[in-house]
Chains A and B, each alone.
Chain A
């Protein structure tokens, strides 16, 4: 897959996505699937809301002491016989990993699902170096053989349907009988299992991400349902962990708090199937496990986020709940966001990592309905942080001219109430009159961007201000009437 950035073309991407029938069919399942499962899992645990507070506090405490926890973590990994490499940016992380693979004469590497790997474009780089990367998470495998990027951070192939998967398997697995039956998802899963089993056993190096790094013990943790990342880090000669620096947590007890909210928020499970804690390489009396253990800790702009308002974004544990509950994500899917991280978390993180110049559309791709913040297990105020980026965009004159002009016109009126009130009254009155028959507009001059995909409701009564005044007056009358009756 490539890390080509198409975020500047979000609007065109979104238009395409809205017209893509198979994609819309796949997206229709996102909300019903994830939302109900998360709600049910949260409902079964009376302490869930309090655990979210606890999770937030653990991450805040860690970030405020990140220098010290990083030092401790590094020392403990070394003590266990592992190596820690620091990478300032993506290029350096790619080079470190390639160097380790070359030192082991690696021909193939298996990979557990890692968003950081996507962020640094690792696969392209490995291929260029003559090393074959094999994605082993089923969803990641599907998008790898299609040459696509993930469209969701925990369900990378959520944009595909089973007919597409069948076609891809027939195209790629040409050594298997063309007459085989692949109509059922179980057959597709069995085929992927068979194909990848050989790759697991043959791989020279296994690369995984990390859900958490534990300072107390120098442990890296991955969470999977398939067992793929776990095989990836158990079978090859070397295990390389690629993690960004905000994955640190202080202790095993702290991790346990976070694990209690992670799976529930992500898939609605009580606990994911496999939670694997790895500390250093194979021990002297071990009969399996990797001979070398490396951790590559990536900064890539995150230390800069620590200093300001965006520090809160570094609490993110990548559960995907924000996008699972986002009406914009439901409508356009993950690819429209144009880079690695989609949905509300992507709308905040992407501008931090690739620059607001390229990502200005993303924090604007929100209705500010607030559902993302309502479900975030570490209580990241995503709408507030998106607003932060909108302000930055405006300050830096990145907002398109028509929008700036429109805001200036509105601002002119809004600052002059004696003008604003009659002007809005007139406009609302005219719209109500024009739309009185249907109660909505299928098209409207200057609002084509809105009405192309949905109707614009016609105003039903006076302006907001007029209604507010009327309501206050009615309340005052009612109070007066009550007083008179007493």
Chain B
């Protein structure tokens, strides 16, 4: 009995007139995957680090998110507390177990309740640490795992994201290089979320409205200067 898998592959091979064993084709596909050529990368973000950071900020704002640029990570707890106060939110935030977040001086904000874990949909504000920022489009790159659970990216009304200026890259391709360096060639974390601004929908009369199913507000805490 032939399986559906065999039927589909046979049909594809017949249409292409191939056997899947041709050496030059195997070579070409193997080379492409191993070499993962970059293709055309727009010149927009191919600029010195300081300009790259400026572009990142500009694009974050263009995507309807907000941004604070803090001199050092030690200012993050105060910035989180100020954000919540400024929006009349309770002084409570849920974060993942990321050691970079654990190392922050939370004791400086004694009124701020900091919880650790994934979101079950009941939290108003969540805090994550980004793996990278992308200047080209103002995009944040989030990796799943206990350090930064994916539910924090999507369920709280307000999502606050720390990103190190040193991790702001020009383009998507540079991020893939860093992910390969971290996890190995051909290996991905379970989920990579690219986030560009807060959730939105234009499904009612093409009127763009923020706050569809994901966070209504996205606030970026950019930390330090590029190296």
Contacts and interface: CB of A to CB of B under 8 A. Distances in A.
Are A and B interaction partners? yes
A70 B212 CA distance: 35
Interface in A112-136: 136
Interface stretch (A153-161, A360-368, A376-384, A409-417): A153-161
B205 A162 contact: yes
A58 B25 CA distance: 15
B196 A271 contact: yes
Contacts of B5: 86
A216 B36 contact: yes
B214 interface: yes
Given A47-B40, A138-B212, A165-B204, A287 B149 contact: yes
A263 B32 CA distance: 25
B36 A251 contact: yes
A287 B42 contact: no
Interface in B8-52: 8-9, 11-18, 20, 25-26, 28-29, 32-33, 36-40, 42-44
B202 A267 contact: yes
Given A138-B203, A304-B11, A288 B186 contact: no
Contacts of B18: 67
A287 B8 contact: no
A149 interface: no
Contacts, number: 269
Nearest to A192: B212
A273 B173 contact: no
B82 interface: no
A271 B205 contact: no
Given A185-B209, A271-B137, A288 B8 contact: no
A306 interface: yes
B100 interface: no
B206 A234 contact: no
B99 interface: no
A278 B32 contact: no
B77 interface: no
Contacts of A280: 190
A109 B212 CA distance: 19
A217 B185 CA distance: 8
B203 A286 contact: no
Interface residues of A, number: 103
A88 interface: yes
B43 A271 contact: no
B26 A68 contact: yes
Contact of A136 (B186, B204, B213): B213
A388 interface: no
Given A26-B205, A225-B212, A273 B197 contact: yes
Q: Which of A72, A190, A218, A306 has the most B CB atoms < 10 Å from its CB?
A: A306
Given A72-B33, A260-B42, A286-B145, A155 B202 contact: yes
Q: Which of B36, B63, B205 has the most A CB atoms < 10 Å from its CB?
A: B205
Given A217-B188, A251-B33, A50 B198 contact: no
A230 B214 contact: yes
Contacts of A256: 39, 171-173, 176
A132 to B, nearest CB: 19
B190 A68 contact: no
Interface stretch (A194-202, A333-341, A397-405, A423-431): A194-202
Contacts of B187: 217
Contacts of A106: none
8 contacts: A29-B206, A138-B204, A256-B173, A271-B196, A273-B63, A287-B118, A305-B15, A307-B17
Interface of B: 3-5, 7-9, 11-18, 20, 25-26, 28-29, 32-33, 36-40, 42-44, 59, 62-63, 96, 117-121, 137-139, 144-146, 149-151, 153-155, 171-173, 176, 179, 186-207, 209, 211-215
